[in-house]
């Protein structure tokens, strides 16, 4: 770094901020463990500068063959209802996000995670570890083959059950776009009693629920659920030249 401060500005992509009433709050009274963990002070607005408009470039180098099929592990087939989970990763401008790493994890068909702190009395499956990774294709599409996870009880409140869900983690292409979330299945009767689901603003809840897609089921093989994921996009500012649009 030889530079001294210059008068030049760097023209950077500008990521849209979401309305607070469309975002999941960090803390939620019904979700008990947010009580001592969710920060209590109002976060400070951080302008989007170089550190925020860049982010880790993670793609095929994080994925090995077979990572997209969770039903074949340790030399055998997982128990449960085989499903295909597919969709697109888009930004808020509708532009596909290609080459994006998706990491997923989930419980097995009985609702049990292969994790040391999950010890409720449901069976583990020797052929299911619950970990998947894929990279979106050039038009932003992704697809996993897995089994439908089971619901499971947890200690948040009396007789609390988590609706069936798959955890998703995505980076997009910028620090601002980082998203960790959960995908739910349509029509789950457990939604209403689950504070992790009901913490989502009511108008945004549908966006966390996959859609059953008969056309993508595979006869004699697997059901199919579609779930598009939308990351924050780059603002198109009309009084700027077209250059800025190229960074999306």
26/72 with CB nearer another protein: 26
Residue with tokens 């920060």: 39
Q: Which secondary-structure segment (H or E) carries 196?
A: helix 195-198
45/220 with CB nearer another protein: 45
Stretch that binds another protein, among 34-42, 74-82, 134-142, 212-220 (CB under 8 A): 34-42
CB of 74 to another protein, least distance (A): 15
Of 15, 31, 152, 184, which is the active-site residue?
152
Q: Is 139 in the site for another protein (CB under 8 A)?
A: no
End-to-end CA distance of the chain: 28
Judged by CB under 8 A, the residue of 13, 140, 149, 163 near another protein is 13
The number of CA neighbours under 13 Å toward the Cβ of 83 is: 22
113 catalytic residue (yes or no):
yes
Full DSSP string of 78-131? PPS-EEEEEEEEEETTS-B-TT-EEEEEE--TTS--SSTT--SSS---TT---E
Structural contact between residues 63 and 55, judged by C-beta atoms closer than 8 angstroms: no
How is residue 149 written in tokens?
């996870």
Q: Is 64 in the site for another protein (CB under 8 A)?
A: no
Tell which positions 145-204 bind another protein, by CB under 8 A: 167, 169, 173-176, 178-182, 196, 199-201, 204
CB of 40 to another protein, least distance (A): 6
Residues annotated as catalytic (active site), given as ranges: 113, 152, 162, 165, 167
């Amino acid at each position: 770094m030889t530079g001294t401060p210059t008068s030049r500005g760097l023209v950077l992509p500008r990521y849209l901020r979401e309305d607070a009433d469309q975002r999941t709050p960090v803390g939620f009274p019904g979700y008990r463990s947010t009580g001592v963990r969710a920060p209590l002070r109002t976060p400070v607005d951080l302008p989007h500068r170089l550190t925020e408009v860049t982010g880790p470039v993670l793609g095929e180098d994080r994925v090995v063959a077979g990572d997209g099929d969770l039903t074949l592990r340790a030399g055998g087939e997982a128990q449960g209802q085989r499903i295909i989970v597919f969709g697109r990763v888009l930004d808020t401008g509708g532009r596909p996000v290609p080459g994006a790493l998706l990491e997923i994890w989930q419980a097995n068909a009985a609702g049990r995670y292969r994790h040391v702190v999950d010890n409720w009395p449901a069976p583990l499956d020797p052929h299911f570890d619950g970990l998947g990774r894929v990279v979106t294709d050039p038009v932003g599409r992704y697809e996993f083959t897995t089994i439908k996870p089971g619901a499971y009880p947890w200690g948040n409140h009396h007789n609390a059950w988590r609706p069936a869900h798959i955890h998703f983690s995505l980076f997009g292409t910028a620090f601002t776009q980082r998203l960790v979330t959960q995908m739910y299945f349509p029509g789950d009767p457990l939604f209403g009693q689950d504070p992790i689901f009901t913490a989502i603003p009511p108008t945004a809840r549908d966006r966390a629920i996959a859609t059953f897609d008969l056309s993508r089921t595979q006869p004699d093989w697997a059901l199919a659920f579609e779930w598009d994921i939308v990351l924050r996009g780059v603002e198109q500012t009309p009084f700027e030249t077209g250059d800025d649009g190229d960074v999306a």
